[in-house]
Amino acid sequence: MRPQEKIQEVRLLKGTPYTRPQEIDLQFDLINHNWDNRPAAQFLKRYNAHARNVLHSIQDIRIGPRNEERLDVFPAPEPGAPILIFVHGGWWRGGTRKDWSFPALGFSPRGYTVVISDYTLCPHVTVPDITQATRAAVVWAYENAEAINGNRDRLFLAGHSAGGQQAAMIAVTDWTRHGIPADAVKGVVPLSAIFDMRVFQSCWLQPFLQLTGDTVQSESALFNIPDRAPPILIMLGEEESIEFHRQAEVFAEAWRERGHRADYFAVPGEDHSTAVFMLGSAESPVCERMAAFFESC
Amino acid sequence: MTRTAVYVDGGPFMDAVRQMGMSMDMDLMALLKELASDADIVAAHYITAEYPKFPYPAKHRNEKQRLEKFASQGITIHCCQPQIIGSIFVDRGVEALMTTSLIVDAVTGAYETALIVSRRGELSPAIKAVKDLGRTIEVAHFKYDLDPVNPLDAFADKSTVITIDQVIARRISGPKPPALTSI
């Protein structure tokens, strides 16, 4: 190694390919990369309200010790339906399940019971608390499957962005420690997800997340891949930043190296928001691909 | 028939279309003609800050291809380089380009009516100046429940709200928003 290369290596922020926190901020400061954020708010308002208007729902089911740890459920009309739990994003510090009813518009027509989970936000809690809330949602859906017209043997989970990190954590969870079978979750879709949390220790989000050396390890699915795990479908928008692609590619490779199934789909022409907004349309490429994946699990 | 020049504030237009679940692969010229009430469009300008190649190489590439398609429809593309301050994108130059184009084109008699597709309040001094030159100003914009008022409406002779259905009608390929129908 030449002296210059050694200096460059020393300067990298721990566990990242970056030398300065600003480089990481640039990969993740998504709101500030839009020219106008009002249209996204309009989309969410319009289609969340529509979902709640046209679909039967059971709202605000409390599943955890904190007030926000609740579920909105959109039961399938007929019993025995596959169950899809959806975990919203917002960098662990924003959003509620009420902003994310619209995925039910994509999966209810396909015969799914859709569960929208929720959690208390950072910095009121830490990321492990959020993971615990998501695990509680899985256990609740498994134990109450019949009451929501679901089939507990066809239980799936998807999450977007920070919710994608949660999805990945669900894929690496040992469910026997939570009182349900090891294979309770049949398939997981981390969408635009984070798999290695080390980047956030050096990022603008750290004051909110308060990650420690322990929690970046425990909350990074990349470092917790078990011997037994469900199939995953890693999805992201083709147009997302380089770091989202890096995270997805590294995790897919690690997952496969452990002998697990990792499908991969970069949604052509879509970005961090537009790809997940497709969950509202049953015939969209995102819903098509997810449904095909679930059927194959 | 009125000679109309169109000025599209490209960045917010793209965000509106895409973030409301629609496709930018559209016949934009046909949409602009409709918004201009089928006037004689003598020029159509699409002014935008170019999406940076880093850290968005695919978005940059796709935007380039989209703009080439718009150019093939007869729309003149004007790209500015955004400034990145820390991690925040700032669309430097768009206001200046739109303002100078509006005024210079008015002074040179390039149009009788200008249709501005924007909600950018900073264009209001230019609009007032163009109206002082005897030109007519029309505005077209998307309407958002959280911020329903377009500050340019107060200065325009006519204001039109662009609907989702109008955009979908001009779609060539790509996504469509969820249908607002019962399931």
User: Do residues A147 and A115 make contact, with C-beta atoms less than 8 angstroms apart?
Assistant: no
Instruction: Give the best residue of A42, A244, A279, A288 to mutate against chain B (max B CB count within 10 A).
Output: A42
Handedness of CA A247, A249, A250, A253 (dihedral sign): positive
Lookup: tokens for B148: 């329903």
Nearest to A255 by CA among A155, A156, A188, A184: A188
Residue in chain A lying closest to B49 (CA): A35
Do B49 and A239 make contact, defined as CB atoms within 8 angstroms? no
Do B21 and A280 make contact, defined as CB atoms within 8 angstroms? yes
Please state whether B94 falls in left (phi above 0), alpha (psi between -120 and 50) or beta. alpha
From A113's Cα to the closest Cα of chain B, the distance in A is 14
- What are the strands, taking DSSP E only, across A64-218? 70-74, 81-87, 113-117, 150-160, 187-191
Provide, as residue numbers in chain B, all residues whose Cβ is less than 8 Å from the Cβ of A26. Answer: 55, 84, 87
The tens digit of pLDDT for each residue in A50-74 reads 999 999 999 999 999 999 999 999 9
Residue A196's pLDDT is 98
Nearest to B164 by CA among B176, B146, B148: B176
Burial class (CB in 10 A: 0-12, 13-18, 19+), A285: middle
Mean confidence (pLDDT) of chain B = 97
Q: Is residue B129 part of a domain?
A: yes
What is the number of structural domains in chain B? 1
pTM of the model: 0.96
Residue B111's pLDDT is 98
User: Do residues A64 and A132 make contact, with C-beta atoms less than 8 angstroms apart?
Assistant: yes
Mean pLDDT of B163-180: 95
Nearest to A228 by CA among A262, A198, A259, A196: A259
Provide, as residue numbers in chain A, all residues whose Cβ is less than 8 Å from the Cβ of B84. Answer: 26
Mean pLDDT by 10 residues, chain A (297 residues): 56 92 95 96 97 98 98 98 98 98 98 98 98 98 98 98 98 98 98 98 96 98 98 98 98 98 98 98 97 98
Q: Is residue B179 part of a domain?
A: no
If one counts every other C-beta atom within 10 angstroms of the C-beta of residue A224, the result is 17
Residue B126's pLDDT is 97
Q: Which long-range contacts (CB under 8 A, 24 or more apart) does B59-62 make?
A: B59/A239, B59/A271, B62/A238, B62/A239, B62/A269
pLDDT above 70 covers a percentage of chain B that reads 100
- What are the strands, taking DSSP E only, across B25-182? 40-49, 76-80, 83-85, 88-90, 113-117, 136-141, 158-161
Instruction: Using CB atoms, pick whichever of B18, B144, B174 lies closest to residue A42.
Output: B144
- Close Cβ partners of A255 (under 8 Å, ≥ 6 residues apart): A225, A229, A232, A261, A262
Provide, as residue numbers in chain B, all residues whose Cβ is less than 8 Å from the Cβ of A105. Answer: 178, 183
Residue in chain A lying closest to B61 (CA): A239
Q: Would you call B84 an interface residue with chain A, using a CB distance cutoff of 8 Å?
A: yes
Do B57 and A39 make contact, defined as CB atoms within 8 angstroms? no
Do B145 and A32 make contact, defined as CB atoms within 8 angstroms? no
Looking at residue B115, its amino acid is L
Instruction: Using CB atoms, pick whichever of A26, A45, A106 lies closest to residue B145.
Output: A45
Q: Would you call B183 an interface residue with chain A, using a CB distance cutoff of 8 Å?
A: yes
Q: Is residue B176 part of a domain?
A: no
Nearest to A190 by CA among A221, A158, A218: A158
**In chain A, what are the domains?**
38-296 (3.40.50.1820)
Provide, as residue numbers in chain A, all residues whose Cβ is less than 8 Å from the Cβ of B21. Answer: 43, 47, 274, 277-278, 280-281
The tens digit of pLDDT for each residue in B83-130 reads 999 999 999 999 999 999 999 999 999 999 999 999 999 999 999 999
Q: Is residue B175 part of a domain?
A: no
Confidence of residue B183 (pLDDT cuts 50, 70, 90): confident
Quote the CA–CA distance of B174 and B177 in Å, as a whole number: 10
Which residue has 């750290």 as its token pair? A206
Do B182 and A280 make contact, defined as CB atoms within 8 angstroms? no
Q: What ipTM is given for this predicted complex?
A: 0.96
The tens digit of pLDDT for each residue in A101-137 reads 999 999 999 999 999 999 999 999 999 999 999 999 9
Cα B122 to Cα A144, A268, B84, B125: the distances in Å are 55, 35, 21, 7
Torsion of CA B174, B20, A265, A269, to 10 degrees: 50
**CATH code, domain with B43:** 3.40.50.1010
> Angle, nearest 10°, between helix axes A38-54 and B10-19?
20
Q: Would you call A38 an interface residue with chain B, using a CB distance cutoff of 8 Å?
A: yes
Provide, as residue numbers in chain A, all residues whose Cβ is less than 8 Å from the Cβ of B57. Answer: 242
User: Do residues A138 and A65 make contact, with C-beta atoms less than 8 angstroms apart?
Assistant: no
- What are the strands, taking DSSP E only, across chain B? 3-9, 40-49, 76-80, 83-85, 88-90, 113-117, 136-141, 158-161
Q: Would you call A277 an interface residue with chain B, using a CB distance cutoff of 8 Å?
A: yes
Provide, as residue numbers in chain B, all residues whose Cβ is less than 8 Å from the Cβ of A242. Answer: 54-57
Do A50 and B180 make contact, defined as CB atoms within 8 angstroms? yes
Q: Is residue B50 part of a domain?
A: yes
Please state whether A206 falls in left (phi above 0), alpha (psi between -120 and 50) or beta. alpha
Do A280 and B55 make contact, defined as CB atoms within 8 angstroms? no
Quote the CA–CA distance of A189 and A208 in Å, as a whole number: 26
Q: Is residue B73 part of a domain?
A: yes
Do B59 and A271 make contact, defined as CB atoms within 8 angstroms? yes
Cα B28 to Cα A76, B14, B161: the distances in Å are 40, 11, 16
User: Do residues A208 and A120 make contact, with C-beta atoms less than 8 angstroms apart?
Assistant: no
Nearest to A28 by CA among A124, A162, A118, A126: A162
Quote the CA–CA distance of A102 and A97 in Å, as a whole number: 10
Range of the domain at B10: 3-169
